[in-house]
């Protein structure tokens, strides 16, 4: 018989408080600890309570016992197990949201999914278990996609991190491969230290790369640093040897310079200091401190000698200036002999001037070349005049000049006759040849007669 719906239902009286759940309920896993917002669902519609108080949940494979709630009404028992379902479903929904909508790491999401699966597998709840399983699978699918995205990002970061390390290694190898003679040691050594610190920073703060790749790069990096350090030590060891050799040489030069510092033999000693200075430059560099100290001693000895020399030269220059005045007057008298008109008188006057020149003594160094050169010019002019006169009066030379004139005159006469004969024959080729020869001989004859005239011929 159908119930009479026209009659009001009796108001339920408060029942006894829910009893403690049976052990079957207590053995379920706790829900995900993330707070869940309570929801109102139809979970209870998926269960029933048997007459003996046992609670069942309906599944596609049939009913399954989930537990019992003694001393409670069927509605209260179903509500309890439905509420546990809602809490578990809420945890699943929240985890799905966190996987798909937040930056929850794959590691944490995987741990959450594992815990959720365990809870769902052993859950004693009443509700839509198919829907709950579907939510779990959605989480698993989303997690796989997240794993792929993170994997690709991680691979990109590893590649970038590897490229950073490769760049450091390449620069270290470039520094190590420099020719020894071109290395700027201070800058290169400092840069090698910086590269090591950058490598350490990447190890501590950047994405880790594959162990094999990292080890291979580190071996190259370490080999470059070791090779550079070995080359640097060898270079500076050699430099120490060079410095030691330069120091020994300069110590010898200093000792010799100090022995010459008080010499009064001005010319030879000045030349000796010039030689020592050349050897000093060729000796190379000692260490900075040794070089500075040795140079100070060498310079002091050199300055001591040249200061004393300059004082003597200054005193001499006072005397030399007076000598210069005398020689300037003698030079003016010598230059007045030019051009030479009376050779013998000029020679006599020049000899007197030369004797006085020698007696006059030295002149200042700055005027020496000028005034000596000017006197040599006068002497050369007088000598040239004497040579010219000798040539003009030499009988042998005059005879040769006359002979040359005679020969050329004969040749010109002969050629003149040949030209007349050629013209008479009308042979143009012959006329041209004889005319050219005649012109040449006539020119030579004029020159020869000019030379003979110098001898009064």
Query: Which residues on adjacent β-strands are paired with residue 68?
Result: 54
Token output for 316: 């001499």
Torsion angle in degrees (nearest 10) through CA of 321, 324, 326, 330: -170
Most confident of 92-106, 151-165, 308-322: 92-106
Residues 292-314, mean pLDDT to the nearest whole number: 88
Q: What does the mean pLDDT of the chain come to? A: 84
Q: Where are the alpha helices (DSSP H) in 102-180?
A: 106-122, 129-176
Q: Which residue has the tokens 């120490």?
A: 240
Tokens of 211: 């162990």
3-state secondary structure of 215: helix
For residue 457, the model assigns a pLDDT of 52
* Predicted confidence (pLDDT) per residue in 174-215, tens digit: 999 999 889 999 999 999 999 999 999 999 988 888 899 999
The pLDDT tens digits for 226-280 are 999 999 999 989 888 888 999 899 889 899 899 988 898 888 999 998 998 999 8
320 touches 363 (CB < 8 A): yes
pLDDT at 167: 94
The answer to whether 434 and 422 are in contact (CB under 8 A) is yes
User: Stretch 416-441: mean pLDDT, rounded?
Assistant: 87
Q: Is the pLDDT reported for residue 222 higher than 90?
A: yes
The closest of 106, 107, 118 to 32, measured between CA atoms, is: 118
Banded model confidence at residue 377, pLDDT cuts 50, 70, 90: very high
How does DSSP assign 101-119, residue by residue? HS---HHHHHHHHHHHHHH
Query: What pLDDT score was predicted for residue 41?
Result: 76
Tell me if residue 184 falls in helix, strand or coil: coil
pLDDT at site 456: 55
Nearest to 105 by CA among 149, 64, 73: 149
- The packing angle between helices 365-393 and 343-360, to 10°, is 160
- 171 or 309, which is more confident: 171
Q: Please give the radius of gyration of the chain, using alpha carbons only, rounded to the nearest integer.
A: 62
DSSP character for 337?
Answer: T
């Amino acid at each position: 018989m159908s119930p009479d719906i026209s009659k009001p239902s009796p108001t339920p009286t408060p029942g006894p408080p829910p009893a403690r759940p049976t052990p079957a309920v207590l053995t379920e896993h706790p829900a995900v600890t993330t707070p869940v917002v309570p929801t109102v669902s139809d979970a209870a519609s998926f269960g029933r309570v048997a007459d003996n108080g046992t609670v069942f949940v309906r599944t596609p494979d049939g009913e399954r016992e989930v537990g019992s709630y003694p001393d409670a009404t069927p509605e209260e028992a179903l509500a309890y197990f439905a509420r546990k379902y809602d809490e578990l479903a809420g945890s699943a929904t929240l985890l799905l949201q966190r996987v798909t909508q937040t930056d929850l790491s794959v590691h944490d999401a995987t741990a959450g999914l594992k815990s959720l699966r365990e809870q769902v597998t052993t859950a004693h709840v009443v509700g839509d278990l198919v829907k709950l399983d579907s939510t779990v699978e959605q989480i698993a699918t989303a997690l796989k996609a997240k794993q792929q995205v993170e994997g690709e990002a991680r691979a990109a970061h590893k590649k970038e991190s590897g490229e950073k390390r490769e760049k450091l290694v390449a620069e270290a190898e470039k520094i190590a491969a420099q020719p020894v003679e071109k290395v700027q040691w201070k800058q290169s050594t400092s840069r090698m230290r910086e590269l090591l610190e950058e490598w350490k920073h990447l190890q501590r703060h950047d994405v880790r790369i594959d162990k094999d790749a990292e080890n291979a790069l580190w071996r190259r990096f370490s080999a470059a640093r070791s090779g550079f350090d070995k080359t640097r030590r060898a270079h500076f060891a050699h430099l120490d040897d060079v410095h030691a050799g330069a120091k020994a040489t300069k110590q010898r030069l200093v000792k010799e310079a100090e022995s010459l510092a008080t010499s009064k033999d001005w010319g030879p000693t000045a030349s000796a200091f010039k030689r020592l200075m050349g050897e000093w430059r060729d000796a190379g560099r000692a260490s900075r401190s040794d070089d500075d100290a040795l140079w100070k001693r060498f310079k002091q000895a050199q300055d001591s000698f040249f200061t004393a020399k300059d004082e003597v030269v200054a005193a001499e220059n006072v005397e030399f200036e007076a000598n210069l005045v005398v020689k300037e007057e003698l030079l003016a008298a010598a230059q007045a002999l030019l051009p030479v008109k009376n050779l013998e008188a000029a020679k006599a006057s020049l000899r007197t001037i030369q004797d006085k020149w020698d007696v006059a003594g030295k002149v200042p160094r700055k005027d020496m070349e000028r005034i000596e050169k000017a006197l040599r010019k006068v002497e050369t002019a007088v000598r040239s005049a004497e040579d010219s006169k000798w040539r003009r009066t030499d009988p042998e030379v005059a005879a040769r000049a006359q002979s040359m004139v005679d020969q050329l005159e004969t040749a010109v006469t002969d050629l003149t006759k040949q030209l007349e004969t050629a013209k008479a024959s009308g042979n143009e080729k012959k006329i041209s040849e004889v005319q050219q020869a005649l012109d040449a001989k006539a020119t030579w004859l004029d020159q020869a007669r000019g030379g003979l005239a110098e001898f009064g011929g």
